[in-house]
Structure 1
């Protein structure tokens, strides 16, 4: 912003689960997904643009190669003062689903949803760290919804994920790119961010790692998590 550049914010995992202050931050463009903390069906991507970004979009010199991604055409269909020039078939069922998801979020209260995600993250963090499992992102830079944690030394991380899914009906994500095989990604998003899931994850992970003789501290994770909920 100091240099007049446009800014864009990735809010795919954060919208609905942690404060997203678009105007206060002066974000020029922001996008999210409906399937994460909004607990809606996948397929929609809420977006917002500042006046400055809209000016750039409207005054671009070269044509957009994609009809579908041409924002000038999209704004002509959806935007303020639009002439309703046809651009695409609206995903009506998904839009109704999003409306219901937002209604449920409004009933809970946005600040309450933020607090719920934070508390469940802290409980999971307490349990994992008591076991001896750490986070790869330093505290203060983490999202409470997405917990990337280290795989204990000597553990077959894929075998752990397989056992969690088959024995406990619990699925956690693998590491991607350079982190493949080194971390697990544990999501606490939307309605799935609750105490029951936190306790299930901790007890199941401890059981599976214990069976594999992993170097963890056993018998302490659940008490550590419950101390957060007390």
Structure 2
């Protein structure tokens, strides 16, 4: 049974992260299936745009700490979203943590409702938001990125929109907020969308071209470190890691 079912309506293909047992965490399998689904959308002329959403109360909990994806595979997924010749729109009605924020950064447009919350939790695990920085830092307010990268604080949809992490922070129904966006995409030509997307993603793709090797190596090194082992173990055991004061 697929972890990323697809549905199509009037030019919009909706891909749903459907692994609620682990809060849609980025396991090797989910990353692979999502990458394959996006590749299929890129080749399908009936797809004008992609909407990425989720089941359950969590959009994505970040990397699956029990079966994490290879950092290179995660980078390929994020770059694939940015480089897809069709817009990708994220629809968020739940929580987003760590690597899940990288998915939002890679999407062209994202909207979150009042039930959404966000947090860069990596620093609390002895890690850092290394590879996900490539789609995020070119788009986020630098001061906000510094604060939330370092502290791991949780913040809401309004703050996520203010900082540039997402496009729309809605106090009401997220589908109502996205309706004019999807209508606009349906009215645009395939060529117009592809060429316009090339313009707005150029700096993000440049970050991937410049930093991928360095950040993949850094991510792998951090995951293999003693501090990360303690942080992940403490998280799984639901206790504070040894360094908490």
Return the structure number with greater helix share. Answer: 2
Judge same fold: TM > 0.5, yes or no: no
**Structure number with larger C-alpha Rg:** 1
